[in-house]
Amino acid sequence: MTFFDWADWVLSETRSTTLTETTLLQKLWKGYGDLHRLSLSGGDLASAILKKVIPPAGAETVSDLRKRRSYAVEQVWYQVESRYCDDNCRVADCYAVAGHAGTLLLLLEDLNRAGFHPRRPPLALHIRGGLSWLAHFHSRFLGARPVGLWEQGGYWHLDTRREEWRGMPSGSLKEHAEVLDQRLQRARYQTLLHGDSKPANFCWNARGEAAAVDFQYVGPGCGIRDVAYFLDCCLSASHSENQAGGWLDYYFAVLRQAIHQDGHELDVADLEREWRMLFPVAWSDYCRFWQGWSGSSGLGPYSQHQLSLALATE
């Protein structure tokens, strides 16, 4: 699809007359395309975001197939499931989707125009907003099993990371990886996972309210997986020891309120007990991926403690 092809498509879909500027925001992971901010005139929108996915030619490795599927999942998410999100778990509106000769185009709301901006690193205000977003998202999709998403949410779960597992050093984490994964899969209470809930995939407004992007790995799972990953990315090793417990309390307080507001008929206390018990498992499960992917040879004190707790409750 040439520049003029997709430019005409954008103008048609946004009812604009002119594409005044195209700004490259970033390249997609491993050369799979790019993300642009489009400045528009003559219509109702001043700007939009174009996510242009162009899978590179070459061998279809496990990694390649996973990434290709991830963009097909994201398309389904934005076209079908994103409509169920509200301001408590804000996502970009999807204006249009198109595909041509292997290229996928997602035309999305510019969250920057709505007052949402990245924050590096996130402060306490932003961690609170991210956890609130996750709590409302998890409540909104409790028990959901949508068609067209991943069968299991999350980009690092064991079934898709066998190569990384094989590269891990010997030890308890590698030995018990299957057990930890199965415990998370067998959780009674399941929801949709964002699946890649790192701070880089959130942006915040001036009040600290969050919006999320990048839904390539959304699918069913135990919600505490998203929480463990988010906190692991937000907190340093020393802050994890001192602050993770308090942030968990905050997440569950918001989750209880959200479940009540959404009208779910379930034992909220039982859900909280299960997910709290699985937090060390989810934390250790992510450490398993990170150790195999990064080549790290050891765990910090907090992560080692979480692994001990996870193994003690087998």
207 assigned to some structural domain: yes
| Mean of the per-residue pLDDT values of the chain | 94
pTM greater than 0.75 (yes/no): yes
Average pLDDT over residues 283-302: 92
Average pLDDT over residues 112-140: 97
Radius of gyration of the chain (CA): 20
| Percent of all residues in the chain with a pLDDT value above 90, rounded to a whole number | 86
**Structure token digits, residue 182:** 């199965």
| Count: domains in the chain | 2
Residues 71, 178: one domain? no
Question: For the segment 165-211, what is each residue's pLDDT rounded down to a tens digit?
Answer: 999 999 999 999 999 999 999 999 999 999 999 999 999 999 999 99
Task: Label residue 29 by pLDDT band (50, 70, 90).
Answer: confident
pLDDT at 58 over 80: no
Residues 65, 193: one domain? no
Domain of residue 307: give its range: 124-312
Nearest to 201 by CA among 141, 135, 122: 122
243 assigned to some structural domain: yes
pLDDT at 292 over 70: yes
More confident residue, 139 or 238: 139
Residues 13, 60: one domain? yes
Residue 284 sits at φ, ψ, to 5 deg, of -65, -35
CATH of the domain at 277: 3.90.1200.10
pLDDT for 1: 54
220 assigned to some structural domain: yes
Residues 88, 152: one domain? no
Average pLDDT over residues 119-141: 97
